Homo-oligomer: A and B are copies of this chain.
Amino acid sequence: MVMADKLLIKDCRLLGENGVCNPLRDIVVTNGAIATINDCGQAPPPGADILEGKGRLLLPGLINTHCHSPMILFRGLADDLPLMTWLNEYIFPAEARLVNAEMAYLCGRLAGVEMLLTGITTVADAYFHAEDAARGLIEAGMRVVSAQGIIDFPAPGVPDPDKNIAAAAEFLSAFKPSDLATPAIFCHSPYTCGPETLKKAKALARSSGCLFFIHLAETEAELTIIKKEHDSSPGRYLNDLRILDRDTVLVHCVHLDDEEIRIIAENGAAISICPRSNMKLASGIAPVDKFLDAGIRVGLGTDSAASNNALDILLEMDMAAKSMKTARDNAAILPARDAFAMATTGGADCLGLGEEIGRIEAGMRADMIIIDTDSPSLTPQYHGHSLLTYSACGRDVTDVIVNGRVVIKDRVPTLVNIDTVMAAVHKLSRTAFPYQPPGPRSRG
């Protein structure tokens, strides 16, 4: 993969721990990593590309710890429906009809560009045809943890569920890891995968040394199923199956009790919360304050574009903070700094990448974004974390660097012809079945 040998970023501001945005003279990037900060003086290193920061705010690339990129095709296909109606009558049939390798690759590119444009540089993506979606995401310029889906039902690319573990093993062995991509395993949930599947999938992930993702405790309905089928609760059940360890990422975790949170913390598993998806689907508000108090690594996820319906981690920061304040009747809880941490260092730690991404420091991979704060919506400016969490959104991002390469420049993707990709997705979307949304004031 071609990347700039040397990149000089000039004239930015850098967000400090205390929320103050300090002037930053220069950052030199070599071989995809941050080489020096404020150390090159006035003269650019010979042969370096130059990115003018224009006094804008330089941040670590944002990290999306949960997405299903190909589902971008279903964004807005059927909204405002009860979760089970939405899934069973619209999403599952649409997936059965429309998801294939080519679609996953196409939608991976679209989702990749959308995420880069909103400042997301790393995504943990979980779906079927994961290798094709990852190809699209990487082509757009993203860093990807690509998790192949496992479910005990016929699935896109895996028509025979008896072969779901074998298909995942094949995915892992065929995957070519790179600077930008690592493979992983994604079991859909404890109610759509039987205990043997869960154990085999985790064993496969362990033997491959890769991450294991699973939707957990997303809805009240899931609690009822796990109680009925296993006389347990989602967190305890996974613990009994010996699934929880530092390489497991639990997604959603809306409905966990205090003891389950303690168990998860003791086992060192990480959590990805998806506040906007959980609210749109009326699943609830995850007790993220308790996760953080317990010392659990927590990252933010957008979930799919069909769920929320935007791939924008800055909006997730806002919603994480606002929803937690509402849930606790306490405006002081989950301050902006915590939201920002979840979107950067927290997300990196969650994915086991805390030594590589999430911070702007010499030696870290060069994943960085530039935000244009020179706008009425971001005026005045007192505290950087607050500004980013409550006033900024992904549309304020102007430039994006992943692994040292400028993949968005002045809001334009540099690697993908986005018009071609959008046109292809529009065309494919016209083959989706018609759906009539509920009328005004209908109450479901």
Contacts and interface: CB of A to CB of B under 8 A. Distances in A.
Interface stretch (A3-11, A171-179, A241-249, A321-329): A321-329
Contact of A331 (B77, B86, B429): B86
B332 A382 contact: no
Interface string A414-436: 00001001100110110010011
A322 B432 CA distance: 25
B337 A377 contact: no
A47 interface: no
A418 B76 contact: no
A301 to B, nearest CB: 16
Nearest to A85: B332
A279 B88 CA distance: 32
A292 B426 contact: no
A377 B279 CA distance: 19
Contacts of A329: 220, 282, 284
Chain multiplicity (copies): 2
Interface in A284-333: 284-285, 289, 292-293, 305, 308-312, 315, 319, 321-323, 325-326, 328-333
A282 B325 contact: yes
Given A382-B76, A390-B308, A435-B382, A374 B337 contact: no
B79 A335 contact: yes
Contact of A386 (B79, B110, B426): B79
Contacts of A391: 75-76, 305, 309-310
A225 interface: no
A225 to B, nearest CB: 17
Contact of A332 (B113, B114, B444): B444
Interface in A165-202: none
Nearest to A279: B322
A96 to B, nearest CB: 18
A437 B386 contact: yes
A80 B332 contact: yes
Nearest to A323: B279
Interface in A338-395: 338, 341, 374-377, 379-383, 385-387, 390-391, 393-395
Interface in A184-235: 220
Interface string A55-89: 00000000000000000110111111111011000
A377 B310 contact: yes
A44 to B, nearest CB: 29
A42 interface: no
A122 interface: no
A439 interface: yes
A254 B289 CA distance: 24
Interface of A: 18-19, 72-73, 75-83, 85-86, 110, 113-114, 117-118, 220, 276, 278-282, 284-285, 289, 292-293, 305, 308-312, 315, 319, 321-323, 325-326, 328-338, 341, 374-377, 379-383, 385-387, 390-391, 393-396, 418, 421-422, 425-426, 428-429, 432, 435-444
9 contacts: A77-B382, A114-B376, A278-B326, A280-B321, A281-B325, A284-B329, A310-B377, A332-B442, A337-B438
Given A76-B391, A281-B331, 6 more contacts: A82-B332, A113-B376, A220-B329, A335-B437, A337-B438, A393-B393
